[in-house]
């Protein structure tokens, strides 16, 4: 159906090399978009580009969301191949765990720099493209249920993701008259390499079995499972379609009922 197609659109996905970012890239390409795969490490981006098709993707390696010069260089390359960006998916992030009293300034600054200021940096760089495109431009920020509630041992992550949700709401109002929508998708614990590393760390530190460690993450989901990256990607895809023009300034939880917004 034409109203569901993203044919001719150019989407930029940060943190595209694995997990949720890779799933989003797959969904966007399947819907007809050309996708710039942005990330710091080139190898996983190259593997994903081969999977999706070289003609449908551009690799922006060395794309560090904390480095405005690296962002500018990546965007210059992407625009030269596919033209201006009209769909932006801010997905890059990091989630180290530590008790609050052991959260060092370095940890705090790193998480806020990547997870919050990174969204600021990339959005500012892409905004001229989106404004030129006008109605139909899309920004989707991958936040977290940690942007809607609190979790122990990830205070910096919660602070950053609450900031992403606030930034989303402010931008949605600023850009509404131009027809650009800005929304946040807030996954619960999702089956990604970050969760795999967290489970391994719990096993190493506590001696629990992998199954017991996994249960720490699934117990908060009323469905008793991890969210799948493809489920998050489908929500993002819906928000980028022309039929979602009236969805703006929302923080949509994808968490099996853990968080109910109203």
In sequence order, the β-bridge partners of residue 140 are 89, 183
Does residue 157 carry a catalytic annotation?
yes
Q: Which of 133, 151, 153, 157 is catalytic?
A: 157
Tell me if 230 sits within 8 A of 30, measured CB to CB: no
Tell me if 172 sits within 8 A of 249, measured CB to CB: yes
Buried b (16+ CB within 10 A) or exposed e, 53-69: eeebbbbbbebbbbbee
Count of C-beta atoms within a 10 Å radius of residue 210: 12
Nearest to 25 by CA among 53, 61, 64: 53
Buried b (16+ CB within 10 A) or exposed e, 77-102: bbbeebebbbbbbbbbbbbbbeeeee
H-helix segments, 60-183:
68-82, 105-112, 118-133, 155-175
Question: What is the dihedral sign for C-alpha 68, 184, 21, 75?
Answer: negative
Name the E strands within the chain: 10-14, 34-38, 57-60, 87-90, 138-142, 181-187, 251-254
Catalytic center residues: 157
């Amino acid at each position: 159906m034409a109203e569901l197609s993203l044919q001719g659109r150019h989407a930029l996905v940060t943190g595209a090399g694995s997990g949720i970012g890779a799933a989003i890239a797959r969904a966007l390409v399947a819907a007809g978009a050309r996708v710039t795969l942005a990330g710091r490490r080139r190898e996983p981006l190259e593997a994903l580009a081969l999977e999706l098709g070289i003609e449908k993707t551009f690799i922006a390696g060395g794309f560090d969301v904390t480095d405005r010069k690296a962002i500018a260089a990546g965007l210059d390359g992407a625009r030269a191949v596919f033209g201006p960006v009209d769909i932006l998916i801010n997905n890059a992030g990091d989630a180290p765990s530590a008790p609050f009293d052991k959260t060092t300034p370095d940890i705090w600054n790193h998480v806020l720099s990547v997870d919050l200021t990174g969204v600021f940096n990339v959005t500012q760089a892409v905004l001229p493209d989106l404004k030129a495109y006008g109605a139909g431009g899309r920004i989707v920020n991958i936040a977290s249920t940690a942007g809607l509630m609190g979790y122990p041992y990830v205070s910096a992550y919660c602070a950053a993701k609450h900031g992403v949700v606030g930034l989303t709401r402010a931008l949605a109002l600023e850009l509404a008259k131009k027809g650009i929508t800005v929304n946040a998708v807030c996954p619960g614990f999702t089956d990604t390499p970050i969760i795999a590393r967290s489970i391994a760390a719990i096993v190493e530190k506590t001696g629990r079995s992998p199954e017991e460690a996994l249960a720490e993450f699934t117990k908060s989901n009323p469905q008793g499972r991890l969210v799948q990256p493809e489920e998050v990607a489908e929500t993002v895809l819906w928000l980028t379609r022309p039929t979602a023009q009236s969805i703006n300034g929302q923080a949509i939880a994808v968490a099996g009922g853990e968080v109910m917004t109203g």
